[in-house]
Amino acid sequence: MRDNPNAELIAIGTELLLGEITDTNSVFMARQLRDIGVNVFFMTTVGDNLERISSAVSDALDRAEIVLTCGGLGPTVDDMTRQAVANATDRSLEFHQHLYDDIADRFRGFGTRMTENNRQQAYLPEGARLIENPVGTAPAFVVETERGTVISLPGVPREMMYLMTGSVLPYLSGRYNLGVIVARTLRTAGVGESSLDDMIGRDLLNEGNPSVGLAAHHGCVDVRVTAKAATKEAATSLLNDMQARLVSRIGEHVFGEDEDTLESVVLQLLERYQLYVHVTEAGHTGVLSACFGGETPHLSSSSFSHPDETYRALRLQPEDMSLKDLAVAAAIAEREARKVDASLVLLSYPDLNENADVEQGSAIAVATASGTRFRVYGFGARSNLATEWLPRWGLANLWRMLRREHEDGM
């Protein structure tokens, strides 16, 4: 049995390249392989072209011990995976009468007449091992060669998932000496990707096992830690050690793990310490308050269609409220925070001149008992970026300020 094989995934279908559907199959397969200790270093998408599919399979066999293809096993003229795998592994196609009979029986069970083009589904590359497909009409198969193993699965997600978990994973576990890969994601906020990279340091980022990688999102950066070992316990131990080293360097920015969100973590803080937040929004109404999950006893809010309405409602002095002085959000936040535990203010100005090259922007401010933080962004209320970046920044700073006040000082 061979140790520590690498795998490569090939998604087949012109519709993927045209953007008509999203390739969720490769994501699923990669996670399944990860969980049994198989590394995936390459994913390829190729259209319905015999020569290109054959080339993709052959190239993958040069790089990986295991090649999984997904798609192209149907009955139509553009389903070319069988022939492409046969070409890439220097073998012909063989007709299997029992497969043809099984497909015909399945159609009869559907009460539907099988068309002649379904006959091609009964062909497999010479010497291939059949993977029975009880949930569809497209038989899957395995081709074992000196260069590596090719496993071809149907592209219908339900069928692929069934065969992947029920047949492919047991086959791989029996053929190879597999370890276990354990992954964990540390969720960070309030710090940019480049700054976080610098804080972590080259020594940790360049370690092979566990490996550490960064993935930036709107206002948040994920730190992915992956460890591989012979057993889950050993892999988890490696992962825990690396997490401790990471937290010693970036712990102040880590708000959670894996499925945690800023929203859920902030709500937990509010509930734990019975804290109350007031949200004031103008220009973008409901963007911040929606982050708290709708109605909650820990939230009150005020919404206005335009920042000018906010000034009038709060009786602010007009001479102090220049439209370009977006930092006034900080003053409003401080004023409202005196009534509750924390205050968030979002003021987004629309582009008042439709022909203007520069929008007037948006301001976000957070105030608690320990102080006030605010930031101005260079996009206005008509920008979709406002709904993505402003809540992230506001929640990140609210979380950090409340945590320092109620947990770090305990």
pLDDT tens, position by position, 361-410: 777 888 888 888 888 777 666 667 777 788 888 888 898 888 888 876 54
The answer to whether 308 and 243 are in contact (CB under 8 A) is no
Q: How far is CA 79 from CA 11, 38, 49, 67, 74, in A?
A: 13, 28, 9, 18, 5
Q: pLDDT band for position 6 (50/70/90)?
A: very high
278 pLDDT above the threshold of 90:
no
One-letter amino acid of 146: E
Same-domain check for residues 252 and 331: no
What is the DSSP code (8-state) at residue 266?
H
Of 46-50, 118-122, 312-316, which range is least confident?
312-316
Are 346 and 279 contained in the same domain?
A: yes
Nearest alpha-carbon partner for 329 in 291, 263, 375: 375
Handedness of CA 224, 229, 232, 233 (dihedral sign): negative
**Are residues 188 and 89 located together in one domain of the fold?**
no
- Are residues 225 and 271 part of one domain? no
* Same domain membership, residue 283 and residue 207: no
3-state helix, strand, coil in the chain (%, to 5): 40, 25, 30
At residue 357, the pLDDT reads 45
68-77 per-position pLDDT tens digit: 999 998 887 7
Q: What is the pLDDT of residue 117?
A: 66
Helical axes 262-273 vs 384-403, angle rounded to 10°: 40
Domain CATH for 227: 3.30.70.2860
The closest alpha carbon to 10, from 89, 81, 78, belongs to 81
Query: Which one has a higher pLDDT value, 323 or 227?
Result: 227
Which range (262-271, 281-290, 305-314) has the least confidence? 305-314
The alpha carbons of the chain give a radius of gyration, in whole angstroms, of: 28
pLDDT at position 152: 96
- Write out the two tokens for 67: 């090649």
- 295 and 359 fall within a common domain: yes
Query: How far is the first Cα of the chain from the last one, in angstroms, to the nearest whole number?
Result: 55
Sign of the torsion angle spanned by Cα atoms 213, 214, 215, 221: positive
Give residue for tokens 């099984």. 102
Same domain, 18 and 154: yes
User: In this model, does residue 27 exceed pLDDT 90?
Assistant: yes
pLDDT of residue 142: 97
The answer on 291 and 157 residing in a single domain is no
Number of domains comprising the chain: 3
Distance CA 277, CA 399 (A): 12
270 plus 302 within the same structural domain: yes
Task: Name the one residue in this structure whose structure tokens are 């929203």.
Answer: 263
Question: Among 158, 177, 196, which residue terminates a domain?
Answer: 177
DSSP string across 83-135:
HHHHHHTT--EEE-HHHHHHHHHHHHHHT-PPPGGGGGGGEEETTPEEE--TT
pLDDT tens digits, residue range 91-113? Answer: 999 988 888 777 777 666 666 76
Return the minimum-mean-pLDDT range out of 36-40, 245-249, 328-332, 403-407: 328-332
Domain final position from 232, 257, 282: 257
User: Looking at the predicted structure, is the pLDDT value of residue 187 above 60?
Assistant: yes
What was the pLDDT predicted at 356?
42
Domain around 83: 2-177
CA-wise closest residue to 337 among 291, 302, 379, 369: 369
In degrees, to the nearest 5, what angle opens at C-alpha 224 toward C-alphas 218 and 228? 165
Peptide bond into 5 cis (omega under 30): no
Co-location of 124 and 141 in the same domain: yes
In angstroms, what CA-CA distances link 88 with 10, 58, 61, 178? 13, 5, 9, 26
CATH number of the domain that 335 lies in? 3.90.950.20
Query: Domain boundary at 223, 257, 291, which?
Result: 257
Q: SS3 of 165, please?
A: helix
Q: How confident is the model at residue 219 (pLDDT cuts 50, 70, 90)?
A: confident
* 173 and 193 fall within a common domain: no
